[in-house]
Structure 1
């Protein structure tokens, strides 16, 4: 399994960058997790949009879905130019019907509602879900294949249920929108110390901080998280490949 960070900024992308988007690959299957602003442009550095096999979405805030429309049009245009590929499944929750219906576009993409209480099979991946504490319905994902596990917290403040959900993950891809001295609970986000605490108690192998703030010294996030977690900690970085 290979994870590549496409975008990692929270809220909006910095100049020439992207907000949330992560490419997960295993045995030729290419799954995009979230598709925020700037993701489609950056994705093309690695693969073309028509090469995606599936997309899975955590929630409908723009920094996680802003490029769904342009993804749809990219595949539409490539089809008109003669390329052939199947309808792209876009997996998401259906607790916002207005947004969910936009996932189906002609025969280009098809919105498929995942059952948040069951295991979802997407290609070779097995995905389970946990509702996060966020202003809109949002789901963390535990993705397993070949004996390896990646947990993506998506957006949400710290909650005890995340500990068991993240237990012994090889990678904890954890949102970290606030510094240690800040309280992100009312905004529905974690700070660096909470991310480190989650990694420590869940006994994960590696912590990657993502959904990063646009201010301050980002390296402080690592030092703050390391006050709790003594394992490997990294800041998400564009095109950062991690193989398991």
Structure 2
């Protein structure tokens, strides 16, 4: 199972980069986790849009789904031109369907996901857990047929659910929106220290800090997380590749 970080910024993309977007590939299957601002353009450096099997949207904040409607239109064009032979499967964590603006059901199959959902794409199995956030939001666990596992947190505050959900996974891609000095400013996001505390309990094989702020030294985030978690910690960056 291969992971490529398409975008990792919180709130808005930096110049020539993107907010949340993560491409997973396994034995020909391709899944995009979140499709934030700038992701659609950057994604095409690593795969054609026609090759995507599925997209998972963890919640309806723009930095996680701003490009998904453009992707819908790209799918329409690809199918009309015969470049794509089947609709794109889109899985969205939401509670109010009125907030969704998909227009072309013949080209995009939109599915509501819940904490009880289990999705299979090729030999990958996807499970979900609800987070603490300003709007309904989920974390995603991806398990390969060989038993390798990854959890992508989406956006979350500190909660027992994300700890339990992430326990023992090979890679934990965990948001780190704030520095420790900002603790308490937003209960729907994590400080780096809280991310380290989660990893210290869940004990993933590797911790990737993502959804990063646009200020100060990101190496400080690693230092603050490492106070609690003594495993490998890396900062996400556009184009980062991992084999799990």
- Normalising by structure 2, report the TM-score: 0.95
Cα displacement string for residues 138-189 of structure 1 (whole angstroms, at most 9, x for unaligned residues): 0011111121110111101111222211111100000000012211563510
The CA distance in 1 between the partners of 2:141 and 2:240, in whole Å, is 20
Question: Paired residue for 2:139?
Answer: 140
Question: Paired residue for 2:179?
Answer: 179
Residues 1:121 and 2:120 are matched in the alignment: yes
Deviation at 1:104, TM superposition (A): 5.3
Question: Paired residue for 1:11?
Answer: 11
The answer as to whether partners of 1:126 and 1:143 remain within 8 angstroms in 2 is yes
Name the SS of the counterpart of 1:156 in structure 2.
coil
Question: Paired residue for 1:223?
Answer: 223
What is the total number of aligned residue pairs between the two structures? 243
Quote the RMSD (CA, aligned, Å): 1.4
Question: Paired residue for 2:42?
Answer: 42
The answer as to whether partners of 1:178 and 1:184 remain within 8 angstroms in 2 is no
- Normalising by structure 1, report the TM-score: 0.95
Name the SS of the counterpart of 1:230 in structure 2.
coil
The CA distance in 1 between the partners of 2:98 and 2:187, in whole Å, is 23
The CA distance in 2 between the partners of 1:220 and 1:180, in whole Å, is 9
Q: Report matched runs for 1:1-244 at 5 Å.
A: 1-100=1-100, 102-103=101-102, 105-145=104-144, 146-184=146-184, 186-244=186-244
Cα displacement string for residues 185-211 of structure 1 (whole angstroms, at most 9, x for unaligned residues): 635100100111111111111000000
The answer as to whether partners of 1:104 and 1:111 remain within 8 angstroms in 2 is no
Unaligned runs of 5+ in 1: none
Cα displacement string for residues 203-239 of structure 1 (whole angstroms, at most 9, x for unaligned residues): 1110000000011111111111111111110000111
